[in-house]
Amino acid sequence: MPRTSTRLTFAVLATGAGVFSMLQSLIAPALPTVQHALHTSQSTATWVMTAYLLSASVFTPILGRVGDLTGKKRTLVAVLVTVLAGCLVAALAPNIGVLIVARIVQGVGGALFPLSFGIIRDEFAAAEVPGSISNLSAVIAAGGGVGIVAAGPIVSALDYRWLFWIPVAIVAATVLIAARYVPESPKRAEGKVSWAGAFLLSGWLVALLLPLSQATRWGWGSPEVLGLFAAAVVLFALWLTAEARSRSPLIDLRVMRLPAVWTTNTAALLFGAGMYAIWSFLPGFVQTPSAAGYGFGASVTASGLLMLPMLVAMFLSGVLSGRLEPRVGAKALLTTGAALGAVACGLLALRHDEQWQIAVVAGLFGLGIGLAFASMANLVVGSVPPEQTGAATGMNANIRTIGGSIGAALTSVLVTGRLQPSGLPYESGYTHAWALLAVLLLAAAGAALLVPARRPGRTVRTPAESTRAPARVR
């Protein structure tokens, strides 16, 4: 089949990744509605988010590696079909159990991120790769913002099931276009899937993320939490040993040790802690009744609109970073993005009495997200061999998710650790949380400064890449 327009390829990749990113946050504001509609408890309803998180964490690096080995387009289409099935089952779910299973299926879509980055690197001209990755990262970041903003209006005007029916229509069209027009990349990694490595990776990720997400309900000192943390340490050690000895490791640890990779992943861990915590707790802060001494008593829709500046800013800065990267370099953009996030959280800790202050902070944080998302992807893609692109970018996304779980858990401890007689958190809990997030994001900026300097716009290319004629945009 002749090569198709890279613009069409990018549109397909952006649509799939954007929908998955939107699914991450779209259901969060509607959890109380889901709980009431399906006649379940709050603790059970939270598994709608937890199941999705665990599934995405497991499948993102594994299927990224599968794509490197067996073909990125083939794997991309299979993942899109799986996401479509998950959305369809969720839209029809008669009870909370089926909905949770559907969310596990949807989590497979986490692999869309590394697969998309890999296809861009394989199919686009070298000069177009950084800008295209920046634009795709902007769409991914904005997708999470769209979910926060759109959830309220969709549920109010239609029904929570439309949070899944709308993605069904979009993903179905994307599957058809991807199967017909996205070319199969000729580059394949050598070897086979290390299923032992995949099993151990899945084990330590679940053992780590599950207690982080459930510790506030189970108790940090509970046998379940302590036992799972211990299991995570043992399984992680076994995974490192298995990967080091494998002839075809799932994640090449030599690549993970590259200076540009481990420093970027450290920044991703810390930045993810701040980003996911803000996404999870800022809407709740503005929805708190003013009788608590803070908050604005905003509805789900109104709180989503207060997040709108974040959505717009993260998309614009993500696109802008593609223009800036050849001039200033991805390292500078990542440092700037993390610093902007730190400033936003610091301002939030000091000033949160007026709605316009929340909007300004949201916009500033959005600028940081857009710059950081794009630069992290470019730093990883530009530092690893083409046959490791899927696995390496999948692990970067995973590490960001792990950081998000840690940040959300720490924020939850500070916010819910001491409650008013009414059951609402004290304002000081939020203030201390915002200050902690500012420190974490400042540390992310420090980690970004450790990324080895590379000439702006330079991309790592193998000899085979150097002899291949650049692709033409048609």
Statement: residue 131 has pLDDT above 90: no
Question: What is the pLDDT averaged over residues 358-363?
Answer: 94
**Cα 461 from chain centre:** 27
The pTM assigned to this predicted structure is 0.81
Cα–Cα dist 220/204, whole Å: 18
Q: How confident is the model at residue 105 (pLDDT cuts 50, 70, 90)?
A: very high
pLDDT of residue 125: 85
DSSP string, 309-370: HHHHHHHHHHHHHHHHHHHH-HHHHHHHHHHHHHHHHHHHHH--SSHHHHHHHHHHHHHHHH
pLDDT of residue 85: 96
Contact criterion met (CB below 8 Å) for 107 and 18: no
- Segment 191-214, tens digit of pLDDT: 777 788 888 988 998 898 888 878
- Sorted by sequence, the CB contacts under 8 Å of residue 95 that are 6+ apart come out as 38, 40
- φ and ψ at 190, to 5 degrees? -90, 150
The closest of 281, 449, 266, 273 to 361, measured between CA atoms, is 281
Statement: residue 1 has pLDDT above 50: no
Statement: residue 265 has pLDDT above 90: yes
Q: Which long-range contacts (CB under 8 A, 24 or more apart) does 34-40 make?
A: 34/96, 34/99, 34/160, 37/160, 38/93, 38/95, 38/96, 38/99, 40/95, 40/96
Q: Outline where 450-473 has alpha helix (H).
A: 463-467
Question: What is the pLDDT averaged over residues 102-127?
Answer: 89
Residue found under tokens 């717009």: 312
- Sorted by sequence, the CB contacts under 8 Å of residue 315 that are 6+ apart come out as 138, 139, 141, 142, 145, 370
Average pLDDT over the chain reads 85
pLDDT of residue 383: 86
Statement: residue 148 has pLDDT above 60: yes
pLDDT of residue 468: 38
Contact criterion met (CB below 8 Å) for 144 and 25: yes
- Segment 407-451, tens digit of pLDDT: 888 888 888 878 898 888 899 999 999 999 999 999 999 999 999
The closest of 57, 34, 26 to 210, measured between CA atoms, is 57
Q: Minimum mean pLDDT among 14-18, 31-35, 454-458: which range?
A: 454-458
- Sorted by sequence, the CB contacts under 8 Å of residue 120 that are 6+ apart come out as 10, 13, 129, 132, 133, 136
Structural domains for the chain: 6-193+248-467 (1.20.1250.20), 194-247 (no CATH)
Statement: residue 64 has pLDDT above 80: yes
Q: How confident is the model at residue 4 (pLDDT cuts 50, 70, 90)?
A: low
pLDDT of residue 455: 54
Question: What is the pLDDT averaged over residues 337-349?
Answer: 96
pLDDT of residue 470: 36
The closest of 175, 150, 176, 178 to 164, measured between CA atoms, is 150
Q: How confident is the model at residue 457 (pLDDT cuts 50, 70, 90)?
A: very low
